[in-house]
Amino acid sequence: MREILGRRRGHLFKHDDGQPEVIGAALTFATRWRWPVLPGAGVGPRGAGCSCPEPECAAPGAHPLDPGLLAATTDGRMVRWWWTNRPAAPVLLATGGGAPCAVSLPAAAAARALSALDRTGIRLGPVIASPDRWALLVAPYSLERLGELLYAKDHVPGSLRFHGEGGYLALPPSGTGTGQVRWERAPLPGSARPWVPDVEAVVDGVVDALVRAEVNAPEA
């Protein structure tokens, strides 16, 4: 049966009291969806910033620290041990390989791009939103394929980021140093494994939408 993606759907993983359950999410990602995950650095001791020693951390709370990225796993026992000991740690997806990759862009531009993609009828997979950036999940791709795809474009906005092999991405319902991570477009609860689109369709649509927005933007 074709999976239908919801918009701004509520949390998929909850405690009995209705609060987001990070360990439940991590176990679903790893054991049901077979996405390799690991705990992120987490927020600083005062509930903001990053717990890592870097004062100007570029991804506060939402990057690997201990363990490193290579420790990402789908082993339910390891995942349960990590989040039993660190229940508030962000859940990081190790992108690439057999797991989804992603294309991310600033939140305001992403909202416009999604509206434009909807108007063209392009089917999107899950979309992850943080306060500053949204990420569109896509099927795994190689660096060679991505390079060929971008080379064919006349212009690629510098605000685009690509999370491929060797990359990572914070998953809902993680709390990071910049705020909560949520689903903007969520998989249906109970999905065996979320469907994700080909990277080419997403990049084509996002780049075209961003370029049109740049062209139509009022001059300062």
Q: Write out pLDDT tens, residues 142-198.
A: 888 888 888 888 888 788 899 999 999 999 999 999 899 999 999 877 778 899 999
- Sequence ranges of the domains in the chain: 6-216
Q: Residue 216 pLDDT > 70, yes or no? A: no
Looking at residue 113, its pLDDT comes to: 87
Which has the closest alpha carbon to 122: 197, 194, 195, 210? 197
* Average per-residue pLDDT for the chain: 85
Mean pLDDT of the 8-34 span:
69
Question: Is the N-terminal amide bond of 140 cis, ω within 30° of 0?
Answer: no
> Whole-model pTM?
0.85
Classify residue 136 as left (phi > 0), alpha (psi -120 to 50) or beta: beta
